[in-house]
């Protein structure tokens, strides 16, 4: 029972729902999520930490960058939840707009292009077969603070 409470508390924020919507597309760098949400990096990182604590996302570090992805659902409940969210998000113009903004960023050479690792598709999502283009040479990087 406690696991459900933690998961649903993790879902109880629009920003966290927007982040999950983006992560249904695959693993993303914090800077890509920040770009789509048009939110400050500390705000995005705080929400990602909350989602991680809730068991809804996993992270990995690559140099100075942090990447986040959905976990491989170990339970039927989590698999069903991700499938439900994918359907619910696709029916909402706000979430669809975020997905389109992410797709445009990917097409232009977003931060995670060369590092992207595809997670196993979640039933009911549309992640299989998508590929990102290679990153643009000479892309300026933001300095770490």
CATH code assigned at 11: 1.10.10.10
Residue 129 lies in a domain: no
List own/partner pairs for 133-136 with CB under 8 A and 24 or more apart.
Answer: 133/106, 133/107, 133/109, 134/109, 135/109, 136/108, 136/109
Handedness of CA 1, 74, 19, 140 (dihedral sign): positive
Contacts of 47 (CB under 8 A, 6+ apart): 13, 15, 16, 19
Residue-number span of the structural domain to which 78 is assigned: 2-108
On whether residue 33 sits in a domain, the answer given is yes
Establish if 117 belongs to a structural domain: no
Residue 12 domain-assigned (yes or no): yes
Instruction: Give the total number of structural domains in the chain.
Output: 1
Question: Tens digits of per-residue pLDDT, 29-79?
Answer: 999 999 999 999 999 999 999 999 999 999 999 988 899 999 998 788 889
Neighbours of 100 (CB within 10 A): 11
Would 10 be classed as within a structural domain? yes
**Contact between 8 and 20 (Cβ < 8 Å):** no
pTM for the predicted model, two decimal places: 0.74
103-120 residue pLDDT tens: 998 888 767 543 444 444
Helix (H) or strand (E) holding 96: helix 93-108
Domain-embedded: residue 15? yes
Closest CA to 27 of 138, 145, 127: 127
């Amino acid at each position: 029972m406690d696991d459900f409470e933690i998961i649903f508390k993790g879902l109880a924020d629009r920003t966290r729902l927007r982040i999950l919507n983006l992560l249904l597309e695959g693993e993303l760098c914090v800077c890509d999520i920040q770009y789509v949400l048009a939110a400050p990096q500390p705000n995005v990182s705080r929400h990602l930490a909350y989602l991680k604590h809730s068991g809804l996302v996993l992270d990995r570090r690559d140099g100075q960058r942090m990447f986040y992805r959905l976990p491989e659902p170990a339970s039927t409940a989590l698999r069903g939840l991700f499938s439900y969210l994918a359907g619910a998000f696709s029916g909402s113009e706000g979430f669809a707009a975020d997905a389109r903004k992410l797709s445009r960023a990917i097409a232009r050479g977003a931060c995670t292009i060369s590092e992207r690792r595809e997670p196993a598709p979640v039933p009911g999502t549309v992640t299989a077969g998508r590929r990102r283009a290679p990153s643009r040479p000479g892309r300026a990087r933001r300095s770490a603070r």
